[in-house]
Amino acid sequence: MTLETVTPATQSDLIDPFGRHITYVRVSVTDRCDFRCVYCMAEDMTFLPKRDLLTLEELDRLCSAFVARGVRKLRITGGEPLVRKNIMWLFRALSRHLGSGALKELTLTTNGSQLSRFAEELSDCGVRRVNISLDTLDPDKFKAITRWGDYDKVMAGIDAAQDAGLHVKINAVALKGVNEHEYDEMIRWAHGRGMDLTLIETMPLGEIDGDRTDQYLPLSIVRARLLDDWTLTDIPYKTGGPARYVEVAETGGRIGFITPMTHNFCESCNRVRVTCTGTLYMCLGQEDAADLRAPLRASESDEPLQRAIDEAIERKPKGHDFVIDRRTHTPAVSRHMSVTGG
């Protein structure tokens, strides 16, 4: 594989209609996953034909076009990004932007199932942090949530990531009646291993087999419960994403809260998402999108691609309109999270 020529980093930064600088792009490399988490997708999923996906070379060129416009952080997502064939080629290719200083951070979100294989190589490519999705420390409950997941494999992946020197953040979706009584244990476990823990409200994305009103647990309630046993202090710590962090006095560790439902984070949004087919979503919670695959393939020059990016950023909305209640039976957005990218 050869690297495509990229536009020199001399163009203007990406700024949306509300004056927000777009410095963070989350790029999905596949909609496929080796889990079938109950809040994310149906068990019997139909995935995209592989021919519809951007090639790894196209993904590199697309990411590089964003880096040329002032994007400082790239997060590789899925589905499960590490199930994409030859995915380490893309990490090695993108690592050149870390070497040049154009890119501040290259990272990924993963379910941890493949980290035993790839953690060392990810570290060699300049990845310093990984987010691992883990909603429970109970192996039986883990199986029920993920349907296809192997708990021991994920634990081995966390060990491998830390052995490789990667800083691990655990992401847990707050699920009413499922894991809501585990957060104390998860705090002790994560902080005892030097890992941050981020709690996330479930979001109305895509049709699933169950009812999201049965899953939805507001993090305002979770935080109030945590105050019974922990001393939480708001801190200005940021990783570039939407989490608001507190420090736990008893452990010295951090807890992040991602609250798209109870307290949206739109006013400071610096992010856009690109799917594995080259569709750019300016907002996770809106359907408006831009096709970047067509201009990417139409010319060896990046000029048509950059024009398409500019036109899309000019349409970035102020925020999303997520709703989960008994009167709202359809998801706010029809596409699954695995399509947009986690």
CATH of the domain at 313: 3.20.20.70
User: Which single residue is written with the structure tokens 């000019």?
Assistant: 314
Domain containing residue 85: 24-340
Per the structure, the count of domains in the chain is 1
230 is a domain residue:
yes
As a whole number of angstroms, the distance between CA 248 and CA 245 comes to 10
Query: Whose CA is closest to 272, among 14, 40, 88, 38?
Result: 14
15 is a domain residue:
no
What residues in the chain have per-residue pLDDT under 50? 4-10, 206, 208, 212, 322-333, 335
The confidence score (pLDDT) of residue 332 equals 45
8 is a domain residue:
no
As a whole number of angstroms, the distance between CA 65 and CA 71 comes to 9
Q: At what angle do helices 151-163 and 139-146 cross, to 10 degrees?
A: 100
- 22-39 pLDDT, tens digit per residue, is 999 999 999 999 988 888
6 is a domain residue:
no
314 is a domain residue:
yes
The confidence score (pLDDT) of residue 263 equals 54
pTM to 2 decimal places: 0.86
The confidence score (pLDDT) of residue 339 equals 56
